[in-house]
Structure 1
């Protein structure tokens, strides 16, 4: 579910951060840039794990900003296909169920991947699985285990100012979502 990934980046340390130790300034800048953000084809970055190497800082002409080339490892949320994960049901509809973790909520179980003999109860707004004469209700906030089936990546490029109004009314896409099965 969590992996370590190595990245290289240019970190800019501003003069107001000079009173901190260099390693702390670099880590703070990396966390500000990557923590709680999705990096395409990598996953949801949680935080910096460690700094592997850093170059000597070069001072920018006229700005006082120090530029440092850094190689570091990040803790990243990216479950692999087939992994079993536990989460809470956040909502249900005829299309399927949405599941959330404490820090990630773009998990969807389509109706065709639910157990056979599962039906949607409109009155209760939940899915019901009938098995050997027993009915099991999948209520909102219930804990469930699910198997990761697919990842979906969406490139959310910036929108031109002239097209922003039309884009605001279009459906919001998540940069990273997961489709799962029961």
Structure 2
């Protein structure tokens, strides 16, 4: 789910940060400019991990800004295809179910990747998907915690160079909720045994116990990749 990415960039340290230790000033700049941002075809940057190298600082003429060439590692969220991840149902419409992971909202389970036959049903709060099997009904209720499998990454370049394209969106350039395309979206499936709401497979008590026992994610065994900006 998480990986370490090596990046090369030019850090600009403002005179107002000269009172900080150099490493701290560099780390603050990296977190400000990368944390919680998507790098196209790389993933969602979570935060600074470690500094690999830094050059001597060069002071810009007339600005006082110190420019430093650095190589550093970032923690990046980018699950691999086929990985099982956990999320919460946040909304639904006739095209599928929108999932939330708390820190990442652009996860969608399209209708053709749900258990079959599943159909949308209207209730007092909106639309809910229902899987009917052997005369039983299984509901994809809002706020239910689910397991889902990553099937596809969808990228959309929202860099400044793509601003004009962003301004010229038509309806075909919107996601299943009619919203502008996210820079990074995951299409997931909930159509295999064990996937979907935890309550279906574990029962309420077991689902609560499993959630409480889950340990925080760690970075052991992550892969390193490199890129330069």
Do the two structures share a fold, i.e. TM-score over 0.5?
yes
4+ runs deviating over 6 angstroms: none
Alignment match, 1:80: 80
Give runs of aligned pairs for residues 23-34 of structure 1, distance below 5 A. Answer: 23-34=23-34
SS in 2 for 1:122: strand
Output the CA distance in 1 between the equivalents of 2:170 and 2:22.
41
Runs (5+) with no aligned partner, structure 1: none
Q: How does 1:84-95 map to 2 (within 5 A)?
A: 84-95=84-95
What SS class does the counterpart of residue 179 from structure 1 fall into?
strand
Structure 1 pair 42–23 and aligned structure 2 pair: CA distance change class (3 A)? same
Inter-partner Cα distance in structure 1 for 2:11 and 2:169: 32
Corresponding position of 1:128: 130
Q: Which of 131-140 and 34-43 deviates more?
A: 131-140
Matched, 1:3 2:3: yes
Q: Distance in 2 between matches of 1:101 and 1:34?
A: 20
User: Are residues 88 and 31 of structure 1, via their aligned partners in 2, closer, same or farther at CA, if it must alter by over 3 Å?
Assistant: same
Cα offsets for 1:7-56 (capped at 9, x unmatched)? 01000101110100000000000111100100011001010011111111
TM-score (norm 2): 0.73
Matches of 1:145 and 1:29, distance apart in 2: 36
Distance 2:8 2:71 in 1: 4
> Corresponding residue for 1:141?
143
CA deviations on 1:83-108 (whole Å, 9 max, x unpaired) are 00010001111111000111111111
Q: Higher helix fraction: Structure 1 or Structure 2?
A: 2
Task: Give the match for residue 203 of structure 2.
Answer: none
Cα shift at 1:134: 2.2
Query: Pairwise mapping of residues 58-69 of structure 1 onto structure 2 (< 5 A)?
Result: 58-69=58-69
Matched positions, count: 179
* Paired position in structure 1 for 2:101: 101
Q: d(CA) in 2 for partners of 1:83 and 1:33? A: 29
SS of corresponding position for 1:23: helix
Alpha-carbon distance in structure 2 between the residues aligned to 1:91 and 1:167: 23
RMSD: 1.9
Residue 119 of structure 1, CA deviation = 1.6
Q: Which residue of 2 aligns with 1:36?
A: 36
Most deviating of 132-141 and 72-81:
132-141
Structure 1 residue matching 2:116: 3-state secondary structure: coil
- In structure 1, C-alpha distance between the alignment counterparts of 2:169 and 2:141, rounded to whole Å: 34
